[in-house]
């Protein structure tokens, strides 16, 4: 049985695809990653989530190297910025692309808070480039098309689906990458026993759905990782994925139960832009 969303045909059973081996993160980059993760520059609220977010394992699964030009899509509060910026500072390039501050008061507030974070520690963040995602033009400005080695984005597909922007976002990522460039991402994983909600209101997205959506933009899936899997996540909460930590959308209701579950079950995928 199949269904479609925005013209993307998706099977209700998981798709079995041949995967290719990805180049491993080298030892020098791994050492920089460990140093950045342990760094005193990190916000305590971000560092406290490392056990649930697995930053070292995630970035190794994606194949990060310290000499890459890396574009992060929607960095929000800068969890990954704290790690990527110092790792890429000397030999690579790190661009953080968020929404247009002129689009809304919320976008401006978020952009201002992110810029304030960068300004507080120029030794760490002085080389971070800030770009704007422009859905209307299909560009990440001022990033030139075909110039990035890697694009990363973390737990954002459901947000784009809610705004009917998912296809446009992956088109932008595809355009920004060099031929042979890497797209690495993670997302809250929905069960395959239910059809995908086009708006992803629960915050969960089916892995097979995400693969078909991303491949419809031209990408080719090359590897999967279970570094962010969590079998304790039952995915049936009254307020969706936000019921789990760190949000605790139910506040103190069953908080101990949700704390014991931990952060969500997530798929981690790596794609290539064909040469």
**Residue 67: pLDDT over 70:** yes
| Cα separation values, 105 from 39, 146, 167, 207, 247, Å | 32, 31, 25, 33, 22
**Residue 70: pLDDT over 80:** yes
| pLDDT for position 22 | 60
Q: What's the whole-number mean pLDDT along residues 98-115?
A: 89
Q: Select the more confidently predicted residue: 223 or 19.
A: 223
**Residue 180: pLDDT over 60:** yes
Q: Select the more confidently predicted residue: 184 or 137.
A: 184
| pLDDT for position 20 | 53
**Residue 16: pLDDT over 90:** no
Q: What's the whole-number mean pLDDT along residues 106-120?
A: 93
Tokens of 141: 């400005």
Tell me the pLDDT band of 24, cut-offs 50, 70 and 90: confident
**Residue 17: pLDDT over 90:** no
| pLDDT for position 1 | 37
Catalogue all structural domains in the chain, each as residue range(s) with its CATH number. Answer: 2-236+266-272 (3.40.50.150)
| pLDDT for position 104 | 85
| pLDDT for position 103 | 82
204 HSE (CA, 13 A, CB side):
24
Q: What's the whole-number mean pLDDT along residues 159-183?
A: 96
**Residue 14: pLDDT over 60:** no
| pLDDT for position 274 | 96
């Amino acid at each position: 049985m199949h269904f479609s969303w925005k013209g993307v045909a998706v099977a209700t059973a998981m798709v079995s695809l041949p995967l290719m081996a990805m180049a491993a993160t080298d030892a020098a980059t791994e050492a920089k990653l460990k140093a950045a993760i342990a760094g005193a520059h990190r916000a305590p609220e971000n560092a406290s989530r490392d056990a649930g977010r697995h930053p070292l394992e995630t970035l190794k699964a994606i194949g990060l190297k310290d000499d890459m030009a890396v574009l992060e899509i929607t960095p929000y509060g800068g969890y990954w910025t704290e790690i990527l910026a110092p790792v890429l500072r000397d030999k690579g390039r790190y661009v953080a692309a968020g929404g247009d501050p002129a689009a809304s008061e919320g976008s401006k507030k978020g952009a201002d808070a992110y810029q304030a974070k960068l300004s507080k520690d120029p030794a760490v963040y002085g080389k971070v480039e800030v770009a704007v995602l422009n859905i209307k033009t299909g560009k990440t400005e001022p990033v030139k098309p075909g110039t990035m080695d890697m694009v990363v984005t973390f737990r954002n597909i459901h947000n784009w689906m809610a705004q009917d922007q998912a296809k446009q976002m992956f088109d932008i990522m595809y355009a920004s990458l060099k031929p042979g460039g890497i797209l690495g991402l993670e997302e809250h994983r929905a069960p395959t026993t239910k059809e995908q909600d086009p708006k992803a209101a629960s915050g969960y997205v089916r892995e097979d759905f995400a693969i078909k959506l991303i491949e419809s933009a031209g990408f080719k899936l090359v590897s999967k990782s279970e570094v962010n899997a969590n079998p304790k996540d039952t995915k049936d909460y009254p307020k969706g994925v936000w019921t789990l930590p760190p949000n605790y959308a139910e506040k103190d209701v069953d908080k101990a139960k949700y704390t014991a579950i931990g952060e969500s079950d997530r798929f981690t995928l790596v794609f290539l832009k064909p040469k």
